């Protein structure tokens, strides 16, 4: 299978500040690739570089086989982009917004009519065609933004935090849409803060302090040695009042990390101290678990913070 997106040693510096440091990854066609990282970690910068808006300081990349350094104009025609701000004109109607983006991508006549029908069917926004974009709810704005971003049938779509500030129903509706499109072969590159969203993605990259620190499927990341240090075990401690117990659990020397997770505590502990722990916490039930994606990223982040004080 050929790759839809590749980045090879991508490095971007602004003066002395390194925004993206030697990032390498590839995304297959039809894949939904999740890109996680805190604000300012370089996510948007990477998108800009891949779309040809920003010349990387070093390294290279391709989109659908096109070189990001040489074919910027071609790339822009073949990719869709939707940001957290949606990029809609609120004083224009839904219809006018779609027509504008169709025009901007040079889609005319019969093709324009057909594409419009397709995105309307896909997003179900047809009943609101004559409504001003500013009067739509957040969820509908997001669907309109997606309709505009895919009006030119792009094979690669970048979504930069597409679900920030959107209610859960609308979020799920958007993901359903993404899965349908990816089933048709469209590749998605999605940045997000939400772990549950990341877990929906086929593969996930985690960028921290300009470095890509983890990359793989959710299952691969969960079993990453760096996230599961030797001689440790990840456990769930079920107890009546986890928040009352948290502090005393954290004080136990064999506990490396502990955090509340719903009605239980998730902890990373020395594996040979597991039995001792059981006797120390007689009223709690302790079971081994796989780390969640959040556990993985927290552990990785701590490791980096320890090595770069």
Partner 1 sequence: MNRLFYGLIPICRKEALHIVRDPGTLFFALVIPMLQLFLFGFAVDTNIRQISTVVFDESHTQQSRELLQRFTASDVFDLRGTVQSPAELNEAIRSGKARVGVRIPFDYARHILDGTTASVLVLVDGSDSTVAAQAVSTATGVAMQQSLAQVIPTGNLPIDVRPSVLYNPATRSANFFVPGLVGILLQVMVILLIALSLVRERERGTLEQLTMTPVAPLGLMVGKMIPYGVLAFLELCAILFVMRVVFQVPIHGNVLVLLAMSIPFLLTVLGIGLLISTRARTQAEAFQLAMGTVLPSVFLSGYIFLVENMPVVFQAISRIIPTTYYIRILRGIILRGAGLGDLWLDGLVLTVMGCGAILLAARQFVRQRSA
The contact set with partner 1 (CB under 8 A) reads: 14, 48, 51, 53-55, 73, 76-77, 79, 81, 83-92, 96, 100-101, 103-106, 158
CB of 53 to partner 1, least distance (A): 5
Q: Residue 143 or 266: which CB sits closer to partner 1? A: 143
Q: Residue 54 or 268: which CB sits closer to partner 1? A: 54
- Contact at 8 Å (CB) between 207 and 304? no
Chain Cα centroid distance, residue 217:
13
Exposure b/e, 162-183, CB count within 10 A at least 16 = b: bbbebeeebbebbbebbeebbe
Q: Residue 156 or 265: which CB sits closer to partner 1? A: 156
Q: Residue 32 or 50: which CB sits closer to partner 1? A: 50
CB of 35 to partner 1, least distance (A): 16
CA distance 106 to 151: 10
3-state SS of 226-293 is CCCCCCEEEEEEECCCHHHHHHHHHHCCCEEEEEEECCEEEEEEEHHHHHHHHHHCCCCEEEECCCCH
CA distance 87 to 97: 10
Question: What is the 3-state composition of the chain as percent helix, strand, coil, each rounded to the nearest 5?
Answer: 40, 30, 30
CB of 4 to partner 1, least distance (A): 17
Q: Residue 86 or 128: which CB sits closer to partner 1? A: 86
Q: Residue 3 or 53: which CB sits closer to partner 1? A: 53
The 10 Å Cβ neighbour count of residue 275 is: 9
Strand runs labelled E in 37-137: 58-63, 66-67, 79-82
The structure tokens 């849409």 sit at: 177
Q: Residue 90 or 126: which CB sits closer to partner 1? A: 90
């Amino acid at each position: 299978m050929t790759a839809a997106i590749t980045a090879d040693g991508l490095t971007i510096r602004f003066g002395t500040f390194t925004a993206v440091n030697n990032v390498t990854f590839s995304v297959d066609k039809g894949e939904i690739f999740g890109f996680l990282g805190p604000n300012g970690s370089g996510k948007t910068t990477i998108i800009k570089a891949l779309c040809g808006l920003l010349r990387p300081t070093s390294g290279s990349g391709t989109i659908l086989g096109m070189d990001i350094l040489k074919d910027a104009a071609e790339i822009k025609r073949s990719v869709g982009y939707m940001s957290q701000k949606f990029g809609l004109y609120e004083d224009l109607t839904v219809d006018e917004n779609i027509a504008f983006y169709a025009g901007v991508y040079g889609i005319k006549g019969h093709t324009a009519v057909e594409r419009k029908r397709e995105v309307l069917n896909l997003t179900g926004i047809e009943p609101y065609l004559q409504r001003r974009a500013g009067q739509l709810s957040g969820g509908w704005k997001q669907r309109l933004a997606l309709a505009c971003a895919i009006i030119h049938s792009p094979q690669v779509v970048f979504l930069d935090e597409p679900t920030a500030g959107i209610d859960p129903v609308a979020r799920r509706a958007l993901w359903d849409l993404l899965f349908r499109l990816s089933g048709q072969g469209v590749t998605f590159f999605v940045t997000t803060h939400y772990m549950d969203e990341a877990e929906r993605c086929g593969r996930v990259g985690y960028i921290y302090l300009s470095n890509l620190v983890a990359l793989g499927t959710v299952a691969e990341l969960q079993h990453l040695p760096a996230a599961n240090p030797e001689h440790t075990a990840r456990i769930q401690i079920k107890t009546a009042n986890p928040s009352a117990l948290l502090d005393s659990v954290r004080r136990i020397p064999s506990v490396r990390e502990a955090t509340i997770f719903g009605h239980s505590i998730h902890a990373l502990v020395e594996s040979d101290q597991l039995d001792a722990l059981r006797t120390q916490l007689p009223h709690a039930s302790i079971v081994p678990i796989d780390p969640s994606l959040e556990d993985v990223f927290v552990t990785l982040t701590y490791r980096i913070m320890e090595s770069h004080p």
